[in-house]
Amino acid sequence: MQIINFIETKYDALSEQIKTWLQGQYSKSDIVFSEASPFGQILKVDKELFTQNLNYNKNSVNQIAIDYTTSDRIIGNLARISGHNPTRPISATGTIQLKLKTGVDITSQIGGNPPTIKINNRTLIKNKTNSLYYNITLGSDYVIYAVTSNMTISLNVTQGKYDQAILTGQGTKEQSFSVNVDGIQNIENFNFAVFYNGLLLNKKDSMVDMLPFEYAYYSRTGFNGGLDLYFGTGDFGFVPDVGSIITVNYLLSDGKNGNILNNIPNDFTFIDSVYDGNGEILSMETLFDVTIENDINFGADKENKTFTKNLIPMVSRNFVLATPDQFIYQLSKLNMFSLINAYNTLDVNNINNDTYINQFITDTFGKNVANRDQILTNLKSYFPNIYDNVIYLYLIPNVQNYFLSDYNYFTIPFDAFYLSADQKNKVLDYLKILGTLSITTNVKIIDPVISRYVVNIYVRNYTTDTQDNIRNQIINVVSDYFINNNRFDRIIKADLITKIKEQVPGVDSVNLDFISKKNEDYHGDQNIAVINSNVPNTNDASLLTPSAVNPDRYDSNKVLGLDPVQGDIIADKNEYAVLRGGWYDRNGIYYNDIPILNGLSSINIIWTGVSTK
């Protein structure tokens, strides 16, 4: 006979069933089984234990779900299951230059015949400004340089300090080892090497990539930011013998803190020794000027767990870089770009469906051009590679890196929005290092087309806050919004309004409008392409009017760069919208490049009234 209905999930209902059964079984009244009675107290304790157990089980189930978990270890486990290997810090790299100081007597101060200096690989130096360590990276154990009065030496440097871990083989199949580090530094993502009894091992992507008995291993990022190493079975890879010595040399990196934005002469101290031709230790700071030849940059922090959670759904299990989504996934792991997009043109099967080409024809020849099909055919013959297998990478650097100095969003130089040639090469090198770049895919990093906008914000404020204080807070909110915006196609007007209303005390009501420079150019002068000579950046394509548009085809209702209904900023695939002045609107009104109190600029706050709380 069933006494208790165990389908009940609420313990209150279960406890009432137990209480009723006990009363009937022993013919006792409710008074005997009150919370003050021994039976009642036992039942209450049991109820609390049951409730805690249910809560524990519920939390355990929630933690397993990627959308709800907060446990670093579970996120790491889920990343492993999905095939995602979290990125560890990436060290900044660059080039320094040594040049003999004026007045140095080479023959008396530098030994050798002729005078030479010997620099060892991984010579440790330290930056005086950020107090971080860097290594001189050579292609051999050491290099000897002849010293002359006009000589310069270019040396590659990598941020970080090398360390070593010694492990012992166990003689079993599928051995694994963890190398963990303490402190704020972590093992660099690429700069590590594993030796087996002094033999350098090959690094593989997985166990199935190992040949039988091949001296190889594969690695994954540890749960605590360290390095996990895995060895084979014999059929795949080799089995380390009992007592064998496994040595791991690794670089401890400080991530993005190792980026050096300002080139300060003689800002490095040599920690390790440099020798002359007679084997004597040289005083490098006395003999040589040290400057940065190529910027020391491209340093990035390790993935945080929130970032890892967002990346897990994007994992590609085929380990090949071929599609735009796969490129976005790999580049997102670098954690050094504020905006990433990748696209190609292979998915367009019919040139007639391309809105960009049709828009070009409309702007050039008019809406009702009679021979549109012939024009399309001619375009296709003149530009046969218009739909190719090139992956176009659109990358905006993390502009917050510039905030280490006296810059903010409205004052950082335009160079902050572009990758330098050196940075582009480092991105391509990173993709090649992964070893998963499809041989049929070409990669091209494009410069974003900068489109300038200004914003007018209409504010009704409360009397409890000063307008100066409200203004400063609004500027900060707008700055943060544009810095952290991760959409390349649209900037939502309503989202920005909501943030201002929620984050700025003293604002009763707020509205805003964006003004597009290219839209003002189009409607301001339809005959002449005007270049604003006040802005020197020639990469800023928006400084030109769209084209020498024929007045007969001028459309007074046309809106460029803005959603005519919602008021949002809209952008093409290769376009990047910024709040910057430095230009005139169609009525000849000038907007200053940076925010000012008296006059119009990139952000303008118009007070519409005062409310009393």
- pLDDT given at position 344: 77
Residue 489 is assigned to a structural domain of this protein:
yes
pLDDT for 262? 79
pLDDT in tens, 305-331: 777 777 676 665 555 677 787 888 888
User: Tell me: the pLDDT tens digits for 410-422?
Assistant: 888 888 888 888 8
Looking at the structure, tell me whether residues 474 and 551 fall in a common domain.
Answer: yes
What is the CB-side half-sphere exposure of residue 265 using CA atoms within 13 A? 5
The tens digit of pLDDT for each residue in 397-408 reads 887 766 655 667
Q: Residue by residue, what is the 3-state secondary structure of 254-308? A: CHHHHCECCCCCCCEEECCCCEECCCCECCHHHHEEEEEEEEEECCECCCCHHHH
End residue of a domain, out of 297, 321, 352: 297
Which residue would you say has higher pLDDT here, 91 or 447? 91
Instruction: Give domain status of residue 599, yes or no.
Output: yes
**Each residue of 457-492: pLDDT tens digit?**
999 999 877 899 999 999 999 998 998 888 888 999
Could you tell me if 226 and 277 lie in one domain? no
pLDDT at 163 > cutoff 90 = yes
Give me the mean pLDDT over the 564-568 stretch.
94
Residue range(s) defining the domain that contains residue 20 = 11-64
Residues 247, 165 share a domain: yes
Residue 83 tokens read as 């095939």
Tell me the C-alpha distance between 113 and 376, whole Å.
Answer: 72
Question: Is the bond preceding residue 114 a cis peptide, omega within 30 degrees?
Answer: yes
The pLDDT value given to residue 4: 45
**What pLDDT is attached to residue 421?**
86
**Considering the domain boundaries, does residue 264 fall inside one?**
yes
Within a domain: 305: no
Q: What whole-number percentage of the chain has pLDDT above 70? A: 76
Distance from C-alpha of 184 to C-alpha of 329, rounded to nearest angstrom: 26
The answer to whether 558 and 552 have CB atoms below 8 angstroms apart is no
Dihedral sign for Cα atoms in the order 26, 32, 38, 43: positive
- The residue with greater pLDDT, 562 or 485, is 562
* CA pseudo-torsion sign 49, 51, 56, 57: positive
* Residues 6 or more apart whose Cβ sits within 8 Å of residue 65: none
| Cα dihedral 199→204→207→212 (10° resolution) | -50
Q: Indicate if 213 and 131 belong to the same structural domain.
A: no
Residues 231-249, mean pLDDT to the nearest whole number? 96
In angstroms, rounded to a whole number, what is the distance separating the alpha carbons of residues 31 and 527?
Answer: 97
For residue 225, give the amino acid letter.
Answer: G
Q: Is residue 346 part of a domain?
A: yes
Return the sign of the alpha-carbon dihedral for residues 202, 205, 211, 217: positive
120 and 197 co-located in one domain: no
pLDDT at 447 over 90: no
Q: What is the pLDDT of residue 315?
A: 66
In a domain, 323, yes or no: no
Do 431 and 456 belong together in one domain?
no
Q: What is the mean pLDDT of residues 56-63?
A: 63
Q: Are residues 133 and 24 in the same domain?
A: no
Question: What is the C-alpha to C-alpha distance for residues 257 and 128, in angstroms, rounded to an integer?
Answer: 13
The reply to whether 76 falls in a domain is: no
233, with CB counted inside 10 A (0-12, 13-18, 19+), is middle
What pLDDT does residue 1 have? 45
The total of structural domains in the chain comes to 5
**Are 205 and 319 a contacting pair, CB within 8 Å?**
yes
The answer to which of 181-195, 230-244, 364-378, 493-507 has the lowest mean pLDDT is 364-378
For position 12, what pLDDT does the model report? 65
Clarify whether residues 151 and 282 are in a common domain. Answer: yes
Q: Residue 229 — φ and ψ, nearest 5°?
A: -115, 140
pLDDT digits (tens, 9 = 90+) for 194-217: 999 999 999 998 898 899 999 999
Percent above pLDDT 90 for the chain: 43
The encoded tokens of residue 494 equal 């309503």
Nearest to 192 by CA among 88, 120, 268: 88
Paired with 204 in beta bridges are 218
Domain boundary among 421, 446, 471: 446
pTM of the predicted model as reported, rounded to 2 decimal places: 0.66
112 closest CA partner among 145, 149, 150: 145
Give the pLDDT band (50/70/90) at residue 352: very low
509 strand-pairing partners? 460
Same domain, residue pair 275 and 144: yes
For residue 119, what are the contacts with CB-CB under 8 A and spacing of at least 6? Answer: 136, 138, 142, 143, 145, 155, 274
Residue 107: partners with Cβ closer than 8 Å, 6 or more residues away: 115
Among 400, 421, 446, where does a domain finish? 446
Across residues 488-516, what is the average pLDDT? Answer: 94
Say yes or no: 265 and 379 in one domain. no
Is it the case that residue 120 has pLDDT exceeding 70?
yes
> Is 562 in contact with 516 (CB distance < 8 Å)?
yes
| Pair 147, 292 in one domain | yes
Tens of pLDDT, residue by residue over 261-279, are 778 999 999 999 999 999 9
Q: 3-class SS at 319? A: coil
Whether 394 is covered by a domain: the verdict is yes
**Shared domain check, 168 and 43:** no
* Choice between 331 and 372, residue whose per-residue pLDDT is larger: 331
